[in-house]
A and B are shown apart, each in its own frame.
Chain A
Amino acid sequence: MQIHVNGRQMEVVKDSTIGDLLNRVNIQEKLVVVEQNQQIINKAVYNQTTLTDGDVIEIVHFVGGG
């Protein structure tokens, strides 16, 4: 199925979760804010929150460089 991540289309397997998505893009859960269809998702439930076709996901990842 298709979802949108930061404005780009991405193909993900059915029943995958926010946690799976973060693993796939190689991002540490602690340093991230994730929004699913304009709702911020609590870090504690990333692995229980499943993605559905057409989801609009925003992922912002804190970095330390400067």
Chain B
Amino acid sequence: MIAGRYARQERFAPIGKTGQCRLAAKHVVIVGAGALGSANAEMLVRAGIGKLTLIDRDYIELSNLQRQQLYTEADAKQNRTKARTAEQRLQAINPEVEIKGIVDELDEENGEKMLHDADFVIDGTDNFQTRFVINDVLAKHRKPWVYGGCLQSTAIALSIIPGETPCLQCLIDHLPQEGKTCDTVGIISPAVQMTAAYQTSECLKYLTGNGLSQELVQVDIWGRTYSAINVKKLLNPTCSSCSQSATYPYLTKEKGMKTVLLCGRDTVQVRPGEKGSLSLSALAKAVKTFTDKINDNGEVLIFEVEAVRFVVFQDGRTLLHGVTNINVAKQLYQRYIGA
């Protein structure tokens, strides 16, 4: 270990040298490497966490750079994947940390495999569907995590210890249909930083042997309001996710091709029924026969046809930009990529 790297953090009494040693033996998984994921990851890597896994399904676009601090304009121009780019950037920041970036979407099939050996999980997702999957997986495995959300100038966060404090399902009894998203009403980066600061603090507290907060916290960094509600009493003894009689509704497997309309983006994600490795170079060859609008960077294959932009990942998962109808997206996927 390079002498003095963590000296200031060790000086902070609640952590100390003992806490610092504990941190070096811990594994944190961050789901999502967008704005919240980037901010949390950078703080944890600088803080000297032992191992960090970052899971993200997306690639970098110009409109991300305003708030997603790990990425550069060159990354956006090349449409690199967030998970792999973040891994490289974070490794350069601190070579002592074991860092792994996974280009995939966390879902009911892979969720348990991805999260079972985490000491703590940080929510860096941008949608409630994935959050409820995380909520079920971690309730089942009794692992702590911290929810975080941000929109406009507001930050919201809550630590969850399944079985001891209310889970997301206890507090929101079904999947919300979000009316507002970052795409429709916007977001400023201070709201991201505020949320991530709270999440990383909770993570550091837990991993160094300090207690987690029981409060649901909301800060409007622009309007300068702060609100905190102790939600301990809302732990639901018959909760379908975290009680003794849990059924884990979000871990029920769906079969076949899966599609999801990405809120506010005119984009449909299509995921083939069988996960497997697709040969992007073979697909690129086929695509070149019908369009010259094509870009293959080895991580993702991007091409345009019928005024729709296809972004194909190695596992076959594809984003179709310019489509808002799920059935149309399925047909386009079958036509140009296969069943």
Contacts and interface: CB of A to CB of B under 8 A. Distances in A.
B36 A60 contact: no
Interface in A8-66: 8, 28, 30-31, 33, 35, 40, 58-66
B225 A60 contact: no
Interface of B: 32, 34-37, 123-128, 131, 148-151, 154, 156, 171-174, 176, 178-182, 187, 195, 216-218, 220, 225-229, 231, 233-234, 263
Greatest chain B CB density within 10 A among A30, A31, A63 is at A63
A60 B178 contact: no
A66 B149 CA distance: 5
Given A7-B225, A62-B156, A65-B126, A28 B179 contact: yes
A60 B227 CA distance: 7
Nearest to A64: B178
Contact of B35 (A8, A63, A66): A66
A60 B34 contact: no
B149 A58 contact: no
Given A60-B218, A61-B218, A66-B125, A30 B234 contact: no
Given A30-B172, A30-B174, A60-B156, A65 B181 contact: yes
A63 B150 contact: yes
B151 A65 contact: yes
Given A60-B216, A63-B151, A64-B149, A6 B226 contact: yes
A13 to B, nearest CB: 22
Contacts of B151: 63-65
Contacts of A7: 225-227
A31 B176 contact: yes
24 contacts: A7-B225, A7-B227, A8-B225, A30-B172, A35-B229, A40-B233, A58-B227, A60-B217, A60-B228, A61-B154, A62-B149, A62-B156, A62-B172, A62-B176, A63-B149, A63-B154, A63-B156, A63-B180, A64-B131, A64-B151, A64-B176, A64-B263, A66-B32, A66-B150
Contacts of A58: 227-229
Contacts, number: 83
A5 to B, nearest CB: 8
B123 A28 contact: no
Nearest to A7: B225
Contacts of A8: 225
Q: Which 10 A-B pairs have the closest CB atoms?
A: A63-B151, A65-B151, A63-B149, A6-B227, A66-B126, A65-B182, A6-B225, A66-B36, A60-B218, A58-B227
B29 to A, nearest CB: 15
A64 B225 contact: no
Nearest to B34: A66
A8 B227 CA distance: 10
Contacts of B123: 66
Given A62-B176, A64-B128, 14 more contacts: A6-B226, A7-B227, A30-B176, A33-B231, A35-B229, A40-B233, A58-B228, A60-B218, A62-B156, A62-B171, A64-B149, A64-B178, A64-B263, A66-B35
A35 B150 CA distance: 21
A35 B218 CA distance: 13
A40 B182 contact: no
A37 to B, nearest CB: 12
A49 to B, nearest CB: 16
Contacts of A66: 32, 34-37, 123-126, 148-150, 195
Contacts of A61: 154, 156, 218
Contacts of B176: 28, 30-31, 62, 64
Contacts of A30: 172-174, 176
